[in-house]
Amino acid sequence: MSKKVLLAMSGGVDSSVSAFLLKREGYEVIGVTLDLLATADKCCSNSTFSDAKDVADRIGIEHYILDLKDEFKKEVINYFLDEYIEGRTPNPCVVCNSKIKFGILLKKARELGADYIATGHYAMVEKEDGRFILKKALDIKRDQSYFLYRLSQDQLFHSIMPLGDYRKENVRKIAEQLNLRVHNKPDSQEICFIPDGDYRSFIRKNVPQLESGYILDREGNILSKHKGIYLYTIGQRKGLGLSLKKPLYVIAIDRAKNAIIIGEREETSSQSLVAKDLNFISIKALVSEMRVMARIRHQHKEVEALINPLENNRAKIDFKESQKAITPGQSVVFYKDDRVIGGGIIEK
């Protein structure tokens, strides 16, 4: 009997070609488009649903829409707002993957008797020495392993990522050969629930009472006022509203004082950080120091680092080279060659 797989279909070219590849390999594919937002926008408009349905019909698979608006608001949007209010810079895609796409969707798959869930992510899942390993995609420019580091062994066991060993141009070529109307559909670039990229307006709309405070220098001198710490992130230079003789940058956000701390460029760099809420994939836990390659942002260049375990599921990461704008709330992900070791949330 063929294995049943529940495929997350966004209406884009990646998940569409994933549907074709899975069916070609003999899986019984059920396409599911997640309805995540209360109001329509570029990512979750009616065209998303119709594109996914059109692909499902052409390939010959079942297609359903799954309403997860309440769950998405609770797990992703509220988290996003809370983090900015607390002076941290969130990464909603990391949370969405672990809690929604590979969390709630996996639960739904089990309810429907499916053996696996699948997505159009560019990454690979393999089994080695009794553990499920997350690896970088063949197409390094498209690799999305950074956003998947929080997946558990159970989630990886039940996951299929058909595009891991495909290049994007080949994926589009397959879609064109199949006469799928989404073959040249642009890739989504922004946060799905903020399609225009204006996260500040989104926060103002959803959190009407935002405190103003002061912009301080390193010595605590008041330089100006700010309209809310959510307007700032580590390393920011523009938009400070200051007229000074030399350029200054945001070097810290003090939530307790509701203050933005600014300093010179070199003060935005650090050679170490502390990460919390660690999740490991290729190992069960970090019990002693380990040399890895580490990445502090998705598009950031990996650098050699030494990670050491701390109490309460935390770790200290010392980099071989100083890193610019290490940002609390973002994720640091550890690699060895093409394997994801694990990662955590940057605490400080």
Active site residues: 96, 192
Phi, psi of 229 (to 5 degrees): -65, -20
Most distant CA pair in the chain, distance: 73
Q: Which helix (H) or strand (E) holds 31?
A: strand 28-35
Please provide residue 163's backbone torsions phi and psi, each rounded to the nearest 5 degrees.
Answer: -95, 5
Q: 199-206 and 78-85 helices cross at what angle (nearest 10)? A: 100
Q: Identify whether the C-beta of residue 320 lies closer than 8 Å to the C-beta of residue 304.
A: yes
Closest CA to 4 of 133, 104, 110, 103: 110
Q: Which residues are within 8 A (CB) of 273 and not within 5 positions of it... i.e. 6 or more apart?
A: 296, 316, 317, 323, 326, 332, 346, 347, 348
User: What's the CA gap between 61 and 149, in Å, rounded?
Assistant: 30
Query: Do the beta carbons of residue 223 and residue 53 sit within 8 Å?
Result: no
DSSP 223: E
**DSSP letter string, 82-141:** HHHHTT----HHHHHIIIIIIIIHHHHHHHTT-SEEE---SEEEEEETTEEEEEE-SSGG
Antiparallel, parallel or unpaired: β 28-35 and 62-67: parallel
Task: Please report which helix (H) or strand (E) contains residue 156, including its range.
Answer: helix 153-157
Q: Round to whole Å and give the CA distance between 92 and 159.
A: 20
Residue 34: strand pairing partners: 66
